[in-house]
Amino acid sequence: MKPTRLIFATAAFALSMLGLAGCKSGGGNTIKVGEFASLTGKEATFGTSSHEGTLLAFEEVNAAGGVLGKQLELLTEDDQTKAGEPANAVNKLISKDGVVSILGEVASSRSLEAAPICQQNKIPMISPASTNPTVTQEGDYVFRVCFTDTFQGAALANFASGTLKAHKVAVLTDVKSDYSKGLAKSFKEKYTSSGGVVGIELDFNGGDKDFKGQLTAIKSDAPDAIFLPGYYNDVALICIQAKQLGMNIPIFGGDGWESESLLSIGKEAMEGHYFSTHCSPDQGTPEMVRFVESYKKRFSGKFPDAMAVLGYDSARVLIDAIKRANTTESAALRAAIASTKDFSGASGKITLNANRDAMKALVFIRINAGKFTYHTTVNP
Ligand code: PHE
């Protein structure tokens, strides 16, 4: 007990010397912003990337003098990729730390857990990457800097009929994930309304290891392609097992596929498959080029993924709104975020619509020779 108490006492002393201890945001010397992210657990690459992007934005702004004459302070909570933790994290950030706003999460299920708490407390929340349409429907204090799955599902449906020329598609959904269920739904609506046939539809639970049962059933149904709206870790295992079963049809999915781990786990089983996502680090816009450079410099040469880019953009949209509101008072800050228009994000131009969603282009990536290669762009 003793050493712990000593550490606390020392930390409290150090903080009070810096003038940080016990200050509610706004009144203190810093502006406190909360972040919740899956830094550990099953989807650790999501949280790590979005956190790094967010941190970079904060460091840049602080180095340039901060905002409203204050430095920004980022308080990050790890939700460990676990249901129940996002609620704990945002409750702590709001009630105990007194943050003026919350950034997070990547995964829709975790954003959906936190959003009602932010809404109830009137603390603006900006999700960098949660695409399920219902996230921002939680209330007028909830925003996102990415497109929704209504748009992504339709783009994937057009891709299936147009590019893959698939007449019949099997759908394999992660029933544990709001993202997966929502994206499956919007895909199916658009695909069937434009004449496609949804063949066999099967479920899995994120974290499962054996998908041979579902894949064998899909194989007998003989679809032209498999739509797999999952996250990278499950997707990689499913593609490996499909290959082992001798299935040669294209498998395609959405942004949840994006992680370097998709390639390191799935290896050659990923070849020729496709997914849609938010941006490509190769898109060559000045904002993206600059971001990729600073990110690599800050994180030992590491190449950013979409979550890193969106984490960065979510933080910069918030900081821009604080500047424009010229206060961190909650209603004024909310209104300033809501009026975000033509903001030059690293991922692209960000304009928030009346539903507090960003209207943005989407890109298709093909996995080719062990690399994510840019395929096409779909505009909203
Ligand atoms: N869009 C996914 C969700 O809503 C999260 C995600 C975003 C995953 C970007 C990867 C890349 O759950």
What's the pLDDT tens digit per position in 168-213?
A: 999 999 999 999 999 999 999 999 999 999 999 999 999 999 999 9
Tokens of 329: 């008072």
Contact 202, 218 (CB under 8 A): yes
Spatial CB neighbours of 168, under 8 Å, sequence gap ≥ 6: 196, 197, 198, 199, 222, 223, 224
The best mutation among 134, 179, 261, 312 to test binding of ligand 1, ranked by most ligand atoms within 8 Å of the C-beta, falls on: 179
Closest atom, ligand 1, to C-alpha of 177 = 12
Tokens of 182: 């929502």
Residues in the chain: 380
Centre of ligand 1 to C-alpha 286, Å, is 24
Instruction: Encode pLDDT of 209-268 as tens digits.
Output: 999 999 999 999 999 999 999 999 999 999 999 999 999 999 999 999 999 999 999 999
CA angle 321, 48, 264 (to 5 degrees): 135
Contact 281, 254 (CB under 8 A): no
**What domains can be seen in the chain, in order of their start residue?**
4-147+284-360 (3.40.50.2300), 149-277 (3.40.50.2300)
Centre of ligand 1 to C-alpha 129, Å, is 5
Backbone φ and ψ for 129, nearest 5 degrees, come out as -145, 5
Centre of ligand 1 to C-alpha 278, Å, is 9
Q: Looking at the predicted structure, is the pLDDT value of residue 4 above 80? A: no
Q: Sorting pLDDT into bands at 50, 70 and 90, what band is 130?
A: very high
Q: Sorting pLDDT into bands at 50, 70 and 90, what band is 1?
A: very low
Distance CA 40, CA 78 (A): 7
